[in-house]
Amino acid sequence: MHETPSAAVDAEKTALRNRLFTARSHLSESSLNVAGRSIRDSLLSLPELGAAGTVAAYYSVGSEPPTRSLIYALWKRGSYVVLPVLLPDGDLDWASYEGPDSLVPGRFGLLEPGEARRGVETVSRADVVLVPALAVSVTGQRLGRGGGSYDRALARVGPQVPTIALLYDDELLPSVPVAAHDRPVRAVARPSHGITWVPARLSLAVGLREC
């Protein structure tokens, strides 16, 4: 039996996810904290984020690049920060972050804001959207965990809004498997490289191929 194109893409995604999850599982707590601080400092110095009135972010879990100090810093300097609330159908609602004490346990062990929900369209009104990812290609294609929640959210974001995925240094790749429903991002933030806008310049793509 021949695989359908979508089945082949799914298999490629699963293999790449497994490799990336394995690599992340070997990161020490110290490495995670250093990466989180570096990404935080790069993002806080980004003009687009400094000018943003509303920032859609997410509370990191497990071996994801840590976002907790970033979210707190954005909130303390006056940004209106909204965080996702995972709905039973896999879509994302949003509610405001009002400090660490405003978070409550959510589905699948996630921490979510306990404030009133603002609706799934809230993300469309954000000035900057910070996105979790396992990898991003130099053309901006994003590989997530496979639930599709952020593809649905990103579909609501306007074409001029910076959508920024938070990665580790070696997770900006020449390519990732892409399905029809996948939504790209416009930049990545990495610990040792700061902000990279994608699609990347040719020189960066060549450098990645040579690594």
pLDDT at 5: 67
pLDDT of residue 69: 97
- Nearest partner of 70 among 41, 105, 90, 98, judged by Cα: 41
Position 43 scores a pLDDT of 98
User: pLDDT for 72-113, tens place per residue?
Assistant: 999 999 999 999 999 999 999 999 999 999 999 988 778 999
98, 78 contact by CB (below 8 A)? no
Predicted structure pTM score: 0.91
Summary mean pLDDT of the chain: 91
Domain boundaries, the chain: 5-210
Q: pLDDT band for position 4 (50/70/90)?
A: low
So what's the pLDDT on residue 60? Answer: 95
Is 195 in contact with 188 (CB distance < 8 Å)? yes
Share of the chain above pLDDT 90, in %: 83
Fold of 5-210: Rossmann fold (3.40.50)
